[in-house]
Amino acid sequence: MAIAPAIRGTVSRSERSFPGLSTFFGRAPLWSLRNEMDNLMSSFSGDGGLVAGFDAMLDMSETDDEIEVRMDVPGIQPEEIEVEVSGNTLFIKGERKEEKEAKGKTYHRIERTYGSFSRSVTLPCDVESDHIEAQCENGVLTVTLPKSDFRKPQKITVKSKS
């Protein structure tokens, strides 16, 4: 019995053990699923196309004095980013503009995403909203949120009673 090769010409361990799985796990079912998902998503957008947008990933760290949030926002100008704090929730939203096709230019591949993003993250403690700073440099947004004084750790000196 011949074993059908995988997509790149190699045969995986599961295909050697279970030859019929190569047909089941072949490329066609995955592309079919993707097409179905694309069709589902296009039904939610008003223009019949896919809903544009991307996930902006972030890191949040904390010291004794502040919370720092760093988010990758390549290709987005600082004035196109909104940062807001309400209670103990940080909201960040923005938009990466779509580049228009130039006449006479043929695209062979378009993989970069565009569109709007919106993130909200719950802060681990109260912050001084009047002293929050946001800075964007080299495609990285850094939001520094000073902790509220009553939430900062306080060391208590233990005295002896003698």
Residue with tokens 């196309």: 49
Going across the sheet that includes 81-86, the strands are 81-86, 89-96, 115-122
pLDDT at 37 over 80: no
Predicted confidence band of residue 46 (pLDDT cuts 50, 70, 90): very low
Predicted confidence band of residue 57 (pLDDT cuts 50, 70, 90): confident
Name the pTM for this structure.
0.59
Length of the chain: 162
Q: Which residue has the higher pLDDT, 102 or 7?
A: 102
Report the pLDDT averaged over residues 92-114. 80
pLDDT at position 62, please?
A: 94
Predicted confidence band of residue 135 (pLDDT cuts 50, 70, 90): very high
Q: Sketch the domain layout of the chain as residue ranges.
A: 1-47, 58-99+113-151
Top mean pLDDT of 2-6, 58-62, 76-80 is at 58-62
Neighbouring C-beta atoms of residue 146, cutoff 10 Å: 16
Task: Fill in the amino acid letter for 129.
Answer: S
CATH of domain 58-99+113-151: 2.60.40.790
